[in-house]
Chain A
Amino acid sequence: MKAAVIVFPGSNCDRDLKVALEAQGMDVTMVWHKDTTLPDGLDFVGIPGGFSFGDYLRCGAIAAQSPICRSVVDFANKGGYVFGVCNGFQILTETGLLPGALLRNAGLKYICKTVGLKVETADSAFTSEWAKGDVINVPIAHHDGNYNADADTLARLKAEDRIAFTYTDNPNGAADDIAGILSENRRVLGMMPHPERASDEGHGSVEGAPMFKGLAGLFETA
């Protein structure tokens, strides 16, 4: 399975994501934001966490307009698998690949801690290794993770079973406790918590690893 991880100025979880993907046997290429094309024959694109462009203007806004993001949007629109974590989730909402937006945390504080996440659907390549209702513990580290969308969008996400994860104890004021959502074709996932930081024994937890295992498995059987 061939994967790419996009690197923006200010990305800081890019190598963590690479390591988590490689641990599942993926061939990972790091792609700089100024590149205009993705590597050929790609199966998966990861957009890492961090503070791309210093969070200037709005978190993820500048990154979403970078040259490579046009290719990422094309890749997703052609049915490619895309995963955005933390700042990557913010970037995906700014590109319009995922609905809604991430606002400042309701408590105004940057929060860095491990939180409980409930798996809301097992019906995606990202969550297939879990069962609906499973609870996993994964770190969050963000200042702007308060997911917000209008009532119609929230109702639609729910009706289409596109809420991937919810917080068991909402840390940031996110609407409907939403921690991660899927695109309409279920191949784009954005989430604030960091499964790649709970994917190695050295992290003290491997509770996030099944996500990458599920993805890798999809391409082994294909």
Chain B
Amino acid sequence: MKARVHIMLKNGVLDPQGDAVRHALGALGFDGVDGVRQGKVIELDLAETDAAKAEANVKDMCEKLLANTVIESYTIEIV
């Protein structure tokens, strides 16, 4: 079973990288991009076959390591 974790900076936390990408898009002539937020995706290959258990386990991983919940939020997708 695979799990995909999406990690984004929380709303209100400054994202200098996203902002730099927004500026670069503007310079390339892509008008109308009002905001860019950059995050990351982590894919996990899991031995677990029970989706509910897998999700609980990945949530624990996010809280302990994968995300810094002071500044980041995460969503888990079981694939």
Q: Is A186 an interface residue (CB 8 A)?
A: no
Pick out which of these stretches binds chain B: A18-26, A102-110, A126-134, A200-208. Answer: A102-110
A148, chain B: closest CB distance, angstroms: 6
B15, chain A: closest CB distance, angstroms: 8
Q: Is A2 an interface residue (CB 8 A)?
A: no
Q: Is A120 an interface residue (CB 8 A)?
A: no
Complex contact B14–A93 (CB within 8 A): no
Pick out which of these stretches binds chain B: A28-36, A57-65, A72-80, A160-168. Answer: A57-65
Cβ–Cβ < 8 Å partners of B68 in chain A: 58, 61, 94, 101
Q: Which of B13, B20, B64, B65 contacts A148 (CB 8 A)?
A: B13
- Cα distance A99–B70 when bound, in Å? 8
Instruction: List B residues 1-55 near A (Cβ within 8 Å).
Output: 9, 13-14, 16-17, 20
Complex contact B16–A103 (CB within 8 A): yes
Instruction: Kindly state the interface size class of chain A when it binds its partner.
Output: 20 to 34
B33, chain A: closest CB distance, angstroms: 18
Instruction: List A residues 115-172 near B (Cβ within 8 Å).
Output: 146, 148-149
Q: Is B78 an interface residue (CB 8 A)?
A: no
- Cα distance A206–B21 when bound, in Å? 41
* Given A57-B66, A61-B65, A65-B65, CB of A173 within 8 Å of CB of B16: yes
Q: Is B56 an interface residue (CB 8 A)?
A: no
- Cα distance A11–B65 when bound, in Å? 20
- Cα distance A173–B9 when bound, in Å? 16
Complex contact A149–B16 (CB within 8 A): no
B70, chain A: closest CB distance, angstroms: 5
Cβ–Cβ < 8 Å partners of A146 in chain B: 14, 16
Cβ–Cβ < 8 Å partners of A94 in chain B: 68
Complex contact A106–B14 (CB within 8 A): yes
Complex contact B65–A108 (CB within 8 A): no
Q: Is A100 an interface residue (CB 8 A)?
A: yes
Instruction: List B residues 59-79 near A (Cβ within 8 Å).
Output: 64-66, 68, 70-71
Show 24 residue pairs from A and B whose CB-CB distance is below 8 angstroms, ordered by the A residue.
A57-B65, A58-B68, A65-B64, A65-B65, A93-B70, A94-B68, A101-B68, A101-B71, A103-B14, A103-B16, A103-B71, A104-B16, A104-B17, A105-B16, A107-B16, A108-B16, A108-B17, A108-B20, A146-B16, A148-B13, A148-B14, A148-B71, A149-B70, A173-B14
Interface residues of A (CB under 8 A from B): 57-58, 61-62, 65, 93-94, 99-101, 103-108, 146, 148-149, 173
